[in-house]
Amino acid sequence: MKGKIDLASGSGGEATKKLVSELFLKYFGNRELQKLADSALVNVEGKIAFTTDSFVVKPLLFPGGDIGKLAIFGTVNDLSVMGAKPLFISCAFIIEEGFDSEKLEKVVKSMAEAARQAKVEIVCGDTKVVEKGAADEIFINTSGIGKIIYSRLEPSRIKVGDAIIITGAIAEHGMAVMCAREKFFDKTPIKSDCAPVTDLILPLLKGKIELHASRDPTRGGLAAVLNELAASAKVGMMIVEDAIPIKPEVKYACEMLGIDPLYVACEGRAVIFCPESEAKKALSKIQKHPQGKDATIIGKVTKGNKVILKTAVADRILDAPSGLLLPRIC
Amino acid sequence: MKGKIDLASGSGGEATKKLVSELFLKYFGNRELQKLADSALVNVEGKIAFTTDSFVVKPLLFPGGDIGKLAIFGTVNDLSVMGAKPLFISCAFIIEEGFDSEKLEKVVKSMAEAARQAKVEIVCGDTKVVEKGAADEIFINTSGIGKIIYSRLEPSRIKVGDAIIITGAIAEHGMAVMCAREKFFDKTPIKSDCAPVTDLILPLLKGKIELHASRDPTRGGLAAVLNELAASAKVGMMIVEDAIPIKPEVKYACEMLGIDPLYVACEGRAVIFCPESEAKKALSKIQKHPQGKDATIIGKVTKGNKVILKTAVADRILDAPSGLLLPRIC
């Protein structure tokens, strides 16, 4: 597709139809979406997981991903960490008038590829176009439906003594976006970790490994997630700084910029809570997946109500993030 | 709530937590949302309908409604016209930095009231805040899940000979928003028709009245919907201008502004297709509902592939809208 997206493309008339058929149906095409009905009709038996996320990341394209891939995997991950098999995704675009059609096509193509990779179908959608200046290029909402297959993973099931596992190195997505946006460095090897976590979690449940809860540490990073879960499960947590996997280039960039990587978003990692007795089994299964090779046990659930970071020097309280760290990271 | 929404409110940290608990949980609070998990876990048995819509209406408040009410009813209607009972709604906000908290509270309160009226639960959500100038006040995405209860209403079921029913007067939403935005008139009695159409459609199906398809004529109005459905069912349609209900003040405003009301959005109406033999029964049932008192049979499905408008003077082809009519109407 060439040219610019104009207001007519969001009017519901012929121009919208052209955009939908030449772009969305071309890349997302499946039987249900093709009907272009007011709702998709889908089959899910039993209990379902339902989630929504809007993506406003800036820049739209960054090393390791783009807003489209992020939107698909972000929603896929919100389903996966609840023990659900992601099935159906909705996709709603808010586009700024004058947005480049080729850039839109790149994003749409990337969403289609991500959906294929995550084995989900984009079954319904919506397109709005607002005047130039009323939005910043493009915002994407993806909502998702998954089937709860194996068990319910819920924060309330976290118990004192549980092991805390992280499935890979932290802070990569946030630092990749930030470096791409602010151009702090001429060139960095830091790439977003943006990926589906489904195959790191569901096989454990399928293998009858008992898990209590899991979550993907996105906005606010590992520190936010641990604090949230500690508060909702009414427990404390203790994690060991040296055990937390982090790539040297990410650590270096964080140090240079005075940013604590524990507060920086991941988009392809999960934190998993399981009974200590299950931890080694879980870990070895996760590590067999290429995306889980750096998975580690980083700590355990304790009594109390604080998240403590054990460093080489001393123990310190790892607070929930307050104020603003990095806007528009997802 | 007082003050302005700042970027920190979208950071995923303490400020987000405050916004979520003091505003969203206060008004939307239900057991599932309260868990603040990555996905809501809900129960729907059998086939489900799934839909999404983003709302960018300007101004946010207009006679007869606001962006919040519109977002709930818009999604509820996309489910209802497919023969589904709306059950669960997700709600994702993109907020411009500096947006007034009291205005946000008004919108959220209105969404909660609309959800109660439509008997749906807001079970999951998301909040993003973008810098001043990167969005226009607030955009809302609502996705929805409904249970297909009675039958499948699908465009492909529309048959030659079917009666075409509209459940109420047209063009009210679009004209109300347009008049509020452009201030064409000092004062007008025109109000948006924004309302759920669920109780106009589901009781027909429950009463075993055979319906073939239905749709809500939003963007592009009645003309867009009839053209879309005619194309997808590979039929023609004939509607009678004098039979189409329209309030005098709406007709007057349209004439003054040179706008064809057939192309103006409704947000609380449905177009229903049913066998001619069922039409009177359907109509009398719809008319019993206060919102359906002006319901009328406006025409029928014919052979061919054109939508024809029968006027007092002559027949004319009612084309699908092309180009731009009214931006940011929903």
Q: What is the 3-state secondary structure (H, E, C) of chain A?
A: CCCECCHHHHCCCHHHHHHHHHHHHHHHCCHHHHCCCCCEEEECCCEEEEEEEEECCCCCEECCEEHHHHHHHHHHHHHHCCCEEEEEEEEEEEEECCCEHHHHHHHHHHHHHHHHHCCCEEEEEEEEEECCCCECCEEEEEEEEEEECCCCCCHHHCCCCCEEEECCCCCHHHHHHHHHHHCCCCCCCCCCCCCCCHHHHHHHHHCCCCCCEEECCCCCHHHHHHHHHHHHHCCEEEEEHHHCCCCHHHHHHHHHHCCCHHHCCCCCCCEEEECHHHHHHHHHHHHHCHHHCCCEEEEEEECCCCEEEECCCCEEECCCCCCCCCCCCC
Q: In chain A, which among 70-89 make CB contacts under 8 A with chain B?
A: 77-79, 81-82, 84, 88
Decide if A78 is inside a domain: yes
> CB B321 to CB A39 under 8 A?
no
Are B267 and B193 contacting, i.e. CB atoms less than 8 angstroms apart?
yes
Mutation to test the B interface, candidates A50, A137, A273, most B Cβ within 10 Å: A50
Of the candidates B68, B85, B77, the residue with the CA atom closest to the CA atom of residue B27:
B68
A82/B41 CB distance under 8 A: yes
* A189 and A72 in a common domain: no
B154 contacts in A (CB within 8 Å)?
35, 37, 41
> Average pLDDT, stretch A231-259?
96
pLDDT at residue number A30: 85
Does pLDDT of A123 surpass 90? yes
* pLDDT exceeds 80 at position B152: no
Say whether both B309 and B175 belong to one domain: yes
Contacts of B146 in chain A (CB under 8 A): 39
A-chain residues within 8 Å CB-CB of B182?
A: none
CA-nearest residue of chain B to A74? B38
Residue B328 falls inside a structural domain: no
- Note whether A60 and A191 are same-domain residues: no
> What confidence tier does B194 reach under pLDDT thresholds 50, 70, 90?
very high
Q: Could you tell me which residues come within 8 angstroms of residue A183 by beta carbon, excluding any fewer than 6 positions away?
A: none
CB distance from A247 to chain B under 8 Å?
no
A181-203 pLDDT tens trace:
988 888 889 999 999 999 999 99
Residue of A7, A141, A327 with shortest CB distance to B131: A327
CA atoms within 13 A of residue B126's CA, in its CB half-sphere = 31
The pLDDT assigned to A14 comes to: 82
Q: Are residues A140 and A169 in the same domain?
A: no
Closest-CA residue in chain B for A97? B327
Residues 17-46 of B with CB under 8 A from A: 17, 35-45
Task: Tell me: do A19 and A143 sit in the same domain.
Answer: yes
Tell me: do A140 and A173 sit in the same domain: no
Domain boundary among A148, A166, A188: A148
For the segment B216-273, what is each residue's pLDDT rounded down to a tens digit?
999 999 999 999 999 999 999 999 999 999 999 999 999 999 999 999 999 999 999 9
Q: Write the CB contacts of A233 (distance below 8 Å, at least 6 apart in sequence).
A: A155, A156, A157, A158, A159, A213, A301
Give A180's pLDDT tier (boundaries 50, 70, 90): very high
**3-state SS string over B40-84?**
EEEECCCEEEEEEEEECCCCCEECCEEHHHHHHHHHHHHHHCCCE
B124 touches chain A (CB under 8 A): yes
Nearest Cα of chain A lies from the Cα of B92 at a distance, in angstroms, of 6
**Residue A182's domain is classified under what CATH number?**
3.90.650.10
Distance in Å, alpha carbon of A277 to nearest chain B alpha carbon? 25
Q: How confident is the model at residue B327 (pLDDT cuts 50, 70, 90)?
A: confident
In this structure, the answer to whether residues A167 and A77 fall within a common structural domain is no
Question: Are residues B94 and B166 located together in one domain of the fold?
Answer: no
Average pLDDT rounded to a whole number, residues B8-27: 89
CATH of residue B73: 3.30.1330.10
Chain A contact present for B90, CB below 8 A: yes
CB contact under 8 A, A51 and B124: yes
pLDDT tens digits, residue range A66-114? 999 999 999 999 999 999 999 999 999 999 999 999 999 999 999 999 9
Q: Is residue B26 over pLDDT 90? A: yes
Question: Tell me, what's the ipTM?
Answer: 0.96
**CA–CA gap between residue B92 and residue A141 (Å, rounded):** 8
Contacts with B15 from chain A: Cβ below 8 Å: 322-324
The answer to whether B39 contacts A130, with C-beta atoms less than 8 Å apart, is no
In chain A, residues with a C-beta closer than 8 Å to the C-beta of B324 are 6-8, 11, 15
One domain, residues B41 and B134: yes
Taking residues B22-50, what's their average pLDDT? 89
Cβ separation A82–B219 shorter than 8 A: no
Residue A144 falls inside a structural domain: yes
B-facing residues of A in 305-324 (CB < 8 A) are: 320-324
Residues B139 and B162 in one domain: no
Answer with the one of A123, A148, A173 that is the final residue of a domain.
A148
pLDDT in tens, B164-188: 999 999 999 999 999 999 888 888 8
Within a domain: A1: no
**Within this chain, do residues B103 and B193 fall inside the same structural domain, yes or no?**
no
How distant is the Cα of B80 from the closest Cα of chain A, in angstroms?
9
Q: Does residue B330 lie in a domain region? A: no
CB-based contact A14 B321, cutoff 8 Å: yes
Does the structure show a pLDDT above 80 at B151?
no
- The alpha-carbon gap from A69 to the nearest alpha carbon of chain B, in Å, equals 18
The pLDDT score that the predictor gives to residue B29 is 81
pLDDT-derived band at B316, boundaries 50, 70, 90: very high
For residue B64, being part of any structural domain is answered with yes
Give per-residue pLDDT as tens, A35-77.
888 999 898 878 899 999 999 999 999 999 999 999 999 999 9
Taking the Cβ of residue B145 and every Cβ of chain A, the question of whether any pair is shorter than 8 Å is answered with yes
The verdict on a CB contact (< 8 Å) between B128 and A7 is no
Q: Which of A105, A130, A148 is the last residue of a domain?
A: A148
Residues in chain A closer than 8 A to B148 (CB atoms): 41
How many domains in chain B?
Answer: 2
Q: For B43-80, what is each residue's pLDDT tens digit?
A: 887 899 999 999 999 999 999 999 999 999 999 999 99
CB pair distance less than 8 Å for A52 and B17: no
Q: Which domain holds residue A95?
A: 7-148
Residue B324 located in a structural domain: no
Any domain includes A253: yes
**Which three-class secondary structure state does DSSP give residue B174?**
helix
Same domain, B162 and B295: yes
A294 pLDDT higher than 80: yes
Q: What is the pLDDT of residue B69?
A: 98
- What pLDDT is recorded for position B294? 98
Q: Do B218 and A144 touch (CB under 8 A)?
A: no
Q: Which of B56, B126, B146 sits opposite A52 (nearest CB)?
A: B126
Q: Prior bond to B86 cis, omega within 30? A: no
- Residue B297 pLDDT > 90, yes or no? yes
